[in-house]
Copies of this chain bind each other. A is one copy, B any other.
Amino acid sequence: VWGRAARQPPGLPLASCRAFSNKKIQVDVNESSGVATMKFKSPPVNSLSLDFLTEFCISLEKLENDRACRGVVITSAIPKIFSSGLDITEMCGKSMEHYAEFWRAVQEMWLRLYSSNMVTLAVINGSSPAGGCLVALSCDYRIMAENPKYTIGLNEAQLGIVAPFWFKDTFVNVVGQRVAERSLQLGSLYPAPEALKFGIVDELVPEEKLQEKATAVMAQWLALPDHARQITKSMMRKTLLDRLVAHREEDIKNFTSFVSKESIQKSLHMYMEMLKKKK
């Protein structure tokens, strides 16, 4: 389990470390440190399916309500991939009801993660395109493995689709208007060193040092009194959170009508075929 040994203070019973394993995400709570770890383990590429998102939301809610838990590390159990983003099979050849249900789950995940009272730390130990990048951008801090083969970015435009306004605004809040404008138009996927340069991630660390670094960073954030940190975070993020809450149904309608267009269905199908051939 992530960091358990390292963070386990000597002499404390192992019972202080609880785990609740689900199907797609392994969650461990270290009660002595107050830090939970969520490890994505949904082969082959941790894609954000409806099931995955539902489990993600439930896990976040459990941790949010767990007074012993003050911070959460989000990372992947699958080599070379953090998360491949939204599961395209959920957007292909399904009913309008299904598209709406799926999109509501995507919104729900973001609303919970972006507004979390916990310190949220993304430990990006693999590639993280599109929705995977959104998960990382929604955390408080991003550490990425120092491997130029791993890329990250909101590359929706490359698939002929458009990142919704709250993906865009989350991105702008991290990298600023200009880098966001250029990157979203080009659907840029940045290798780790460039992701650092453009501010998409905060630090690069050799992959074998990620766990150690995560422990240190989390300790730094948890050294602050929770209450002041939480109010400050809310003050910074409230405008954007409120905007989605106010336009949630409209945003679902936009998504379902867009994704159900014949031209979009065609290009998503083509993209899926391409992915299948890759395997």
Tell me, yes or no, whether A95 is within 8 Å of chain B by CB: no
Inter-chain contact B228/A182, CB cutoff 8 Å = no
Given contacts A168-B236, A177-B236, contact A157 B187 (CB under 8 A): no
A187 vs B233: C-alpha distance in the bound complex, in angstroms? 12
| B contact residues around A220 at 8 Å (CB) | 186
Q: Is the CB of B178 within 8 A of A173?
A: yes
Q: How far is the CA of A199 from the CA of B199 in the complex (A)?
A: 14
Flag whether A43 is at the interface (Cβ < 8 A).
no
Which of B158, B162, B181, B236 makes the CB contact (< 8 A) with A184? B236
User: Are the C-beta atoms of A186 and B221 separated by less than 8 Å?
Assistant: yes
A234 → chain B, closest Cβ, in Å? 10
A227 to chain B minimum Cβ distance, whole angstroms, is 7
Across-interface contacts of A159 in B (CB, < 8 A) = 228
Task: Please tell me the size bucket of the interface on A.
Answer: 35 or more
A5: Cβ under 8 A from any B Cβ: no
Q: Is the interface of A mostly helix, strand, loop or mixed?
A: helix
Q: Which residues of B contact A202 (CB under 8 A)?
A: 182
In the complex, which residues 179-196 of chain A have their Cβ closer than 8 Å to any Cβ of chain B? 180-182, 184-187
Q: Is the CB of A185 within 8 A of B232?
A: yes
Residue of B whose beta carbon sits closest to that of A173: B177
Query: Closest residue to A140 on the B side, CB-wise?
Result: B185
Given A220-B186, A221-B186, the answer on whether A181 and B233 have CB atoms closer than 8 Å is: yes
Per-residue interface assignment for chain A, residues 13 to 26, with 1 indicating a CB less than 8 Å from any chain B CB and 0 otherwise: 00000000000000
Q: Is A161 an interface residue when CB atoms closer than 8 A count as contact? A: yes
State which residues 195-253 of A face B: CB under 8 Å.
199, 202, 220-221, 224-225, 227-229, 231-233, 235-237
Q: Which residue of B lies closest to A175 (CB)?
A: B178
Are A199 and B185 touching (Cβ within 8 A)?
no
A237 contact set on B, CB distance < 8 A: 181
Q: Can you list 15 A-B pairs with a CB-CB distance of less than 8 A?
A: A157-B228, A160-B228, A162-B231, A173-B178, A176-B178, A177-B236, A180-B236, A181-B233, A184-B232, A184-B235, A185-B232, A185-B233, A186-B221, A186-B229, A187-B224
Q: Top 5 closest A-B pairs, CB basis?
A: A160-B225, A157-B228, A181-B236, A162-B231, A184-B232
Residues on A lying within 8 angstroms of B by beta carbon are 140-141, 156-163, 165, 168, 172-178, 180-182, 184-187, 199, 202, 220-221, 224-225, 227-229, 231-233, 235-237, 267
